[in-house]
Structure 1
Amino acid sequence: MKNCGADLRSARAGWKPAPQNFHINFKRRGKTMIGDRQAMIENLYQYQGQYTLESRLYKTSVSSFMNGMLGEDLQESGCITAIAIFQPHDSGKAMVSSKQKGILAGLEESCLLLDNYRSQVSYHLAMKNGRLIRDGDALEADEDPILYLEGIIITILEIERTLLNILQRMSGIATEVHELQQVIKNCGSHSRLAATRKLQWGRMDKKAFIVGGGLSHRRGLYDTMMIKDTEIDFWQYLDDSQVDQNTNDLRLKWVLESVQRCWNQRQNSKGLIVEVQSQEEALVVARTLKELQNNRYYPCSIMLDNFSPQEVTSTLEQCRAEGTYDWTLFEASGNMQGERIIQFAQTGIDVISTGSPTHSTNVLDIHMKVLK
C-alpha cells in the first residue's frame, strides 16, 4: 500500500468530474455478485438516482427548504434597500462565477429556485453540474462563469444570497468529498465514502456528497434496515433472562436476535446493516449473515464502530480466513475525518461513513458580479 500521508489538498491537481449518469440496479441479487465488491458496495450504498428533481420526494424537500430560506430572508417586506434605491421596472445583468477551484454542485437546485422567478429573471447556464471549476482571477474574462442572470434588479438582489448559499455550500461539500476520494484512490484502496444522516441541509447535503463522487447511507428509516447500538440497548427491557449473565454475552445474544428478526422482514428493505462494537461481534455476525444467505447473496454490511485501523485489519483478515468475507461488506465509522479517513482506507475497508464534509463545510468562493 502506498504512503498517503501527503497533504490532502494536493489531490486537487488531478481532479476529474464525477460521473453523473450512472445508475445501479438496486434489485440485483444472487450469487453472481459475490466477489465483485464494487458492485456490492453500489448495490447497497448508491442512491444517485434518488437525489434529482425527477424524484418527487427530493424536489419537494428542496422546494420546502429554499422557501424557508427565502421566507426568513425577505419576510413580508422584501429587500427594503433594493426597493428604496431601484424602480420596480429597472433591469440589469449579472454573472455568477467562482474564484476557487472545486467541483460544481447545486446547479440543479439553483435552477429550481430561478424557475420560480422566470417572469422577472431569465438565466443562462455556462457550466454543468459536477464539472471541475478552474481557478479564476479578478479579470472577468479569466473567471469561470457558472450562470448568467438578466432581469428585474430588485428580484435579482432578493434571491442573490439564497442562490449563492446553495452553490457555495453544495460545491464545498462536493469538492471535499471528491478530494478525499481522490486521495483514497491514489492510495490504491477501493474504499468508498458514504454520507451519514447527520445533516444540516438534509437531502441537499447528501446530493452534494454524491455529486462529489461519494455514496450515501439510507435516505431514511423507511428504506434500509440498520441495527444500531440504540436498538440493542433497548433489549434490556425485553429480556427477562439477563440476571447474572455476562454483559458481552447478553449484548451478542441481543445482536443476533435482532439480525434474525430483521432478516425475517428483509423483503421490505434495500439491505441490512449491523453495527458491532468488537471483533468478536463482527466475526459472529459475519458467520450468521453467511449462513442466513444460504448461497444466495443479499446486501449486507457490518459496521465496525470506533474500531482502530489495526482492529479493522485484523477483523477483515479473520473473516477472509473463515470464508465469510465475500458474503458481506464492511464499513468503518466513528469520528472519520481528514487523515483518519486515509488511515482506514489503507486497511482495505469497503466503506467509510463520515459526516465531516457536511457538518464542517468549507464553502467554495462563488460570487455574483454585475455586468455592464
Structure 2
Amino acid sequence: MVNETALKELIRLALAEDIGNGDHSTMACIPPTAKGKARLKIKEGGLLAGMQVAETIFRYMDMFTVFTPFKKDGDVMQPGDTAFEVEAAVHTLLMTERLVLNCMQRMSGIATLTRQYVDKLQGYHTRLLDTRKTTPNFRLLEKEAVRIGGGVNHRMGLYDMVMLKDNHIDFAGGITQAVQKTIAYLQQRKLDLKIEVETRNLDDVREALAVGGVDRIMLDNFRPEQIAAALELIKGSCETEASGGITLDNLVDYAKTGVDFISAGAVIHHAVSLDLSLKAVE
C-alpha cells in the first residue's frame, strides 16, 4: 500500500499546483454549501488502479466525503463499468476531479501494461522489476501501479539500495574498486543496504564474483544465451537481474534462462493512460 504521509504530501503539492489562488470557475457559479454526487465511469478496458489514491484525495479536501467503491485496485475493468460513487461538497468534487483522473488514468495504464508482462512470466522463476525511469514527483504512484499490476518494486530511490552502474564503475576505476569502496563506506556508516553491480560482459561477471560482497549482479544488454553463460558462472551465489533491450516479444526468451529478475523501465515510461471520466450524478 502507498505510504499515507507521502501520498498526502503529493496531493498537497498537486492541488497547490492546480488550484493556485482559487478555482474561480467553481467559486463563481457554485455556492460553497452545495453538496453533490459523482460517479467514476470506465471508458476503456484494462486493469484498474488508483482507488485508494482517489479516496484519499477526496478525503484530503473534505473529511466528510462518502466514498462508495464498486471495484478495487487490480480488478479487470470494462467500458461502461462504474468504479465508485462519491458524495461531497461540490467544490471538493470539482477541485479534485482532474487530479483524481490524472492519477487513476496514469496508474491504470501502468498496471495494465505491467500485467501483460507478468502474465507472460507465468510458470517461470523470473519476476518483473520496475526501475527509476519514472516521472519526477510521481514515482510513488507509478511504482504503486506496477505493484498493483503484479510487478515487484525495485529500489524507490538512490537511498534504499546501492546500485553500482557503469558510470559509477568507470569513475571509481573498475568493479573491484567500486565494490571495495562501497563495502567500506557502508560499514563505516553502519548502513544495511544491499549492493547490486552492473556487468557488461562475462569478464565483468567474473570480477564481480571475485571481489565478493555483492548481493545481486545485473546482466546489462546480455542476450539470452549470454545470460545462460553468466548464470553458469554465478551458480546461485547471488541474485541475478537481466536488463536492457527486453520487450514483451522477447521476455519469455529471457525468462527461460532462469534469471531471478527482469527489469523493464518500459512498464512505466511506455504505458498509455486509460480513459476514465468523473461525471455528476443528478
* Deviation of 1:152 (Å): 2.6
TM-score by length of 2: 0.88
1:337 is matched with 247
3-state SS of the aligned residue for 1:70? Answer: helix
* Deviation of 1:343 (Å): 3.5
- Unpaired segments ≥5 residues, structure 2: none
Q: How many Å separate the matches in 2 of 1:90 and 1:220? A: 43
Report the identity percentage: 30
1:71-108 Cα shifts (integer Å, max 9, x gaps)? 22211121x22333333333322111313332222222
3-state SS of the aligned residue for 1:116? Answer: helix
2:45 is matched with 101
TM-score by length of 1: 0.68
Matches within 5 A, 1:351-370: 351-370=261-280
Q: How many Å separate the matches in 2 of 1:371 and 1:327? A: 59
Q: How many Å separate the matches in 2 of 1:92 and 1:221? A: 44
1:178-211 Cα shifts (integer Å, max 9, x gaps)? 11110121xx422111111121112221111111
User: Are residues 1:349 and 2:264 paired?
Assistant: no
Cα distance, 1:344–1:258 mapped onto 2, change above 3 Å: farther
CA contact (8 A) 1:168 1:363 kept: yes
Matches within 5 A, 1:305-324: 305-316=220-231, 318-319=232-233, 324=234
Cα distance, 1:119–1:353 mapped onto 2, change above 3 Å: closer
Matches within 5 A, 1:1-372: 51-52=1-2, 58-78=3-23, 80-119=24-63, 121-133=65-77, 135-136=78-79, 143-185=80-122, 188-200=123-135, 201-236=138-173, 251-255=174-178, 257-258=180-181, 261=184, 268-289=191-212, 300-316=215-231, 318-319=232-233, 324-372=234-282
3-state SS of the aligned residue for 1:175? Answer: helix
Pairs aligned (count): 280
Cα distance, 1:252–1:368 mapped onto 2, change above 3 Å: closer
CA contact (8 A) 1:336 1:355 kept: no
Q: How many Å separate the matches in 2 of 1:62 and 1:315? A: 40
Residue type at the aligned position of 1:366 = L
Q: How many Å separate the matches in 1 of 2:45 and 2:190? A: 44
Cα distance, 1:286–1:123 mapped onto 2, change above 3 Å: same
1:242-290 Cα shifts (integer Å, max 9, x gaps)? xxxxxxxxx354355357547856963242211111111113323554x
Cα distance, 1:265–1:181 mapped onto 2, change above 3 Å: farther
* Deviation of 1:342 (Å): 3.7
Q: How many Å separate the matches in 2 of 1:310 and 1:109? A: 42
Query: What is the alpha-carbon root mean square deviation over aligned residues?
Result: 2.5
* Deviation of 1:215 (Å): 0.8
Residue type at the aligned position of 1:358 = I
